Amino acid sequence: MNRPFSRRHFNSAALSALGVLVWATAQQVHALSLADLTDKEANQGLKAALEKAALAAVGLLGQTDGFLGNEKVRIPLPGALDSAAKLLKNLGQGQRVDELITSMNRAAEAAVPLAKDALVGAVKSMNFTDAKNILSGGDNAMTTFFADKTREPLFTKFLPVVTKATEKVGAAEKYNQFASKAAGFGLVKKEDASIQDYITRKALDGLYTMIGEQEKSIRQDPVGTGSAVLKKVFGATF
């Protein structure tokens, strides 16, 4: 004879049903697609990500050893001069070489904080179409956007700071003289014959490299950013 269905059994069944309902609801939330986002959500999410990535990169690079202590962005001597530097070290000139390389990286570290206003300005210039296009773009779409919008004006902005920083090092003038001759033999690119221009370009390369690192982190783990907007936007399927 079957026993009556007890309240305990009922509660157990109800909890199981509730669990299934919660799970199903969660799956629907996770299945949110980019098409489900409003223009405002897409725009807010991307702007939040852009600003977060940009400011984080500036903060990391614009400090002592931001370039010099980071293998990914450390600025070496260009082309054949890097090989020549190794030879000079073997000839007892290592201190002079190290001083020059250190001064190059210090110049980049001094210039990078100036990028903040331009990067934030680029974020503010975003429109709804830009936002959705970048959100559905490749893994480095945000970084490419920054580079396209800010590289040229930032080069102009960085150069005077880099020039002032390198003027403090007597080796800078000697570098330019030597590099100019080396460029004539094809050992150094013509655009790298000026230490100031070279450092400025490498500083920008480093900036966009670190923005790219930040973008990668945001895309891979939007929940880890602690931002509800980024979680919703970058958690959407494309």
With respect to residue 1, please indicate whether it lies within any of the assigned structural domains: no
Domain that holds residue 91: 40-234
- d(Cα 202, Cα 104) in Å, to the nearest integer? 10
CB 218 within 8 A of CB 116: no
Series of mean pLDDT values for 10-residue runs along the chain (238 residues): 48 41 37 56 77 95 97 88 67 71 93 97 84 78 92 97 84 71 73 86 98 89 62 57
With respect to residue 10, please indicate whether it lies within any of the assigned structural domains: no
With respect to residue 102, please indicate whether it lies within any of the assigned structural domains: yes
Number of structural domains (the chain) is 1
Task: Give me the numbers of helices (H) and strands (E) for the chain, helices first please.
Answer: 10, 0
Q: Model-level pTM?
A: 0.76
With respect to residue 2, please indicate whether it lies within any of the assigned structural domains: no
Which token pair is 229? 């907007």
With respect to residue 219, please indicate whether it lies within any of the assigned structural domains: yes
pLDDT confidence of residue 10: 39
Helices 39-61 and 141-167 pack at an angle, to 10 degrees, of 30
- d(Cα 195, Cα 234) in Å, to the nearest integer? 41
